[in-house]
Amino acid sequence: MAERIQKPKTTSKKTEQADEAAPAVTETGDKIKADIDDLLDEIDDVLETNAEDFVKSYVQKGGQ
Amino acid sequence: MALPKVCGIETEYGIVVRGAENNPVSASSLLINAYVAETARQRKRIGWDFEDEQPTNDARGFSLDESIAPEIETTLVNAVLTNGARYYVDHAHPEISIPEVTTAREIVVWDRAAEEIIRESMRFATPLLDDGAEIIVHKNNSDGKGNSYGCHENYLLARELPFGRLASQITAHFVTRQVFCGAGKVGCELPGRPPDDIAFQLSQRADFFEEEIGLETTLKRPIVNTRDEPHADPQKYRRLHVIVGDANMSEVATYLKVGTTQIVLAMIEDGELGDDLLLGNPVAAIRQVSHDPTLRQTIMLRDGTRATALEVQWGLLERAQKYEQTHGLDAVGDDVGRDVLARWEHVLTGLEADPDSVADWVDWVAKRRLVEGFAARHGLEPGAQKLKAIDLQYHDLRPDRCLAQRAGLETIVEPEEAIDAMTKPPPTTRAYFRGRCLDKYPEEIVAANWDSLVFDVGRDPLRRVPMMEPLRGTAEHVATLIDDSETARELLDRLGQ
């Protein structure tokens, strides 16, 4: 059954690419951090310019 | 043996209009009408069995000639789509009930299709608004200010299953499954508690549950809802209407939410779950679990012992693995069922070791990474409006704004499959008959509902085709029949109606 489990994407590939100078673990940590940094850069671009006002004025009627 | 766990999801989406009057009821109607009218117009343009149709009328922006009003008394907009779904206005929200399906994988396909329908609707509705105004739809369950709206699941169960046993045995799963299917929330909406009392919690919905069991869905919400409306033969079936879940952006979370629940329900139906995982105080527990992203706090079991939510989930998984050995998983689709078990084990293992390791499966983990990373980068305190904005925008269905789409979530459905499912019904349930008939004989259907279609084929009285069996009317049963019937009259003749 275990082989049916798909491993999280974030751990794929980078061990193969491990640089001879750096231990794989450090590389993995750096890679994840770089991914998050890229993502946060993107959030800075994608987040509504008036995000604070938008979220303040976001009111919904209660539903089910 | 457990009945096949026919299931569905109904989602109430958050809606706002920016740049014009923000009336959620009229905005929801506009959204749905724009979609229905535009899809009808496109079908006419490509000439699908509409040769005798009157010329297209420019003002038909709101014509409903392709959609069918279900037999539900309401003045609000209601449409049944050719994929077998219902698209309507409910409680000032646009809502899509996906067609009935049989597996967790199909749930994801038609839930993703529903998202794409909303995206198309936004696109079609915007030109109908004043310049610069837009309708924005979120797939979330709370506005962060104490107002909640639901993402409900429905499961087919045997009528003879005693409801008391069902309610008491399913509760542990409903309280603890949020560790992998919570959509995450910045802040707290418990009455009487300051919103910033809790920086981040697992679930959008947990703060809103006040009862263990009950009929309500809009106030004093119960963990187990007792609505008894099977939309099928009431002598044989009941429908468990589940109101406790979050709407998920992660496909894997939706898959696990429904897949694990199907299996637990099958175990209960077969009398295989037992009473050793009953909770002491479910209402307190659902909040405790949601408010504890460390996943380390314990909740009280009915026998007085304590366990973490993960331990309860491990207990359920072990029983499910044994059940698979002794009973098989035909009731939930054998291959999908085994894949659900494997992923269930994987997600619990990951959450136990390091939740970030399953950030590509679990919404609350994916969202928390964004919120905490953003806070660290910009030096923001918990409770900052910008962090609430990230929470909200995680669920934004506009492709250029949706943060979930950028969070590295694993997908299990190909985009083309979801696009296809916007117009095509699942082949595995009666939704196939509903969808195909609406597609092929739209002029002759005067009413559609979950459990019947009503035809008007001219001279005769209206003819109702009952669909009280959710697993009749599948592609296997009726595809050839529909293919071979040029008209609804021919179809009804062949059906012996």
Which amino acid appears at position A59 of this protein?
V
In the three-class reduction of DSSP (H, G, I as helix; E, B as strand; rest coil), residue B492 is classed as helix
Q: H helices within B76-219, ranges in order?
A: 104-125, 163-176, 178-181
Chain B interface includes A24 (CB < 8 A)? no
Query: Dihedral angle at the C-alpha atoms of A34, A37, A39, A43, nearest 10 degrees?
Result: -170
Neighbours of B304 (CB within 10 A): 7
The question of whether B143 is a catalytic residue gets the answer: no
In the three-class reduction of DSSP (H, G, I as helix; E, B as strand; rest coil), residue B154 is classed as strand
Nearest CA in chain B to A7: B346
Q: Of B425, B289, B263, nearest to B341 (Cα)?
A: B263
Going by DSSP bridges, is the β-strand pair B452-455/B463-466 parallel, antiparallel, or unpaired? antiparallel
Q: Of B105, B366, B354, B384, nearest to B251 (Cα)?
A: B105
Which residues face B298 on adjacent strands? Answer: B308
Architecture of domain B7-419: 2-Layer Sandwich (3.30)
User: How would you classify residue A13: left for phi > 0, otherwise alpha for psi between -120 and 50, otherwise beta?
Assistant: left
* Per-residue tens of pLDDT for chain B, all 497 residues: 899 999 999 999 999 999 998 999 999 999 999 999 999 888 765 433 333 333 333 222 333 333 444 433 334 678 999 999 999 999 899 999 999 999 999 999 999 999 999 999 999 999 999 989 999 999 999 999 999 999 999 999 999 999 999 999 999 999 999 999 999 999 999 988 999 999 999 999 999 999 999 998 888 999 999 998 999 999 999 999 999 999 999 999 999 999 999 999 999 999 999 998 999 999 999 999 999 999 999 999 999 999 999 999 999 999 999 999 999 999 999 999 999 999 999 999 999 999 999 999 999 999 999 999 999 999 999 989 999 999 999 999 999 999 999 999 999 999 999 999 999 999 999 999 999 999 999 989 999 999 999 999 987 789 999 999 999 999 999 999 999 999 999 999 999 86
* Domain boundaries along the sequence of chain B: 7-419, 427-496
Handedness of CA B396, B401, B403, B406 (dihedral sign): positive
In the three-class reduction of DSSP (H, G, I as helix; E, B as strand; rest coil), residue B192 is classed as coil
Neighbours of B327 (CB within 10 A): 15
Q: Of B466, B392, B460, nearest to B434 (Cα)?
A: B466
User: How would you classify residue B451: left for phi > 0, otherwise alpha for psi between -120 and 50, otherwise beta?
Assistant: alpha
**One-letter-per-residue 3-state SS of A1-64:** CHHHCCCCHHHCCCCCCCCCCCCHHHHHHHHHHHHHHHHHHHHHHHCCCCHHHHHHHCCCCCCC
Q: Strand order in B445-449's β-sheet?
A: B445-449, B452-455, B463-466
Nearest by CB to residue A58, choosing from B143, B150, B219, is B143
Handedness of CA A42, A44, A49, A53 (dihedral sign): positive
Residues B180, B348: contact at Cβ < 8 Å?
A: yes
Q: Of B473, B411, B426, nearest to B102 (Cα)?
A: B426
ipTM of the complex: 0.88
In the three-class reduction of DSSP (H, G, I as helix; E, B as strand; rest coil), residue B254 is classed as helix
C-alpha neighbours within 13 Å on the C-beta side of residue A57: 10
Q: Of B403, B183, B253, B356, nearest to A31 (Cα)?
A: B356
Handedness of CA A16, A22, A25, A30 (dihedral sign): negative
Q: Pull the structure tokens for residue B300.
A: 């009280």
Test the A interface: residue of B335, B377, B378, B380 with most A CBs within 10 Å = B377
Which chain A residues touch B374 with a CB distance below 8 Å? 40, 43
Which chain A residues touch B152 with a CB distance below 8 Å? 64
Q: Of B334, B404, B338, B402, nearest to B365 (Cα)?
A: B404
State the pTM of this model.
0.90
How far is the C-alpha of B491 from the C-alpha of B475, rounded, in Å?
A: 14
| A61/B147 touch (CB, cutoff 8 Å), yes or no | yes
Which entry of B58, B90, B363, B439 is annotated as an active-site residue? B90
| A51/B385 touch (CB, cutoff 8 Å), yes or no | yes
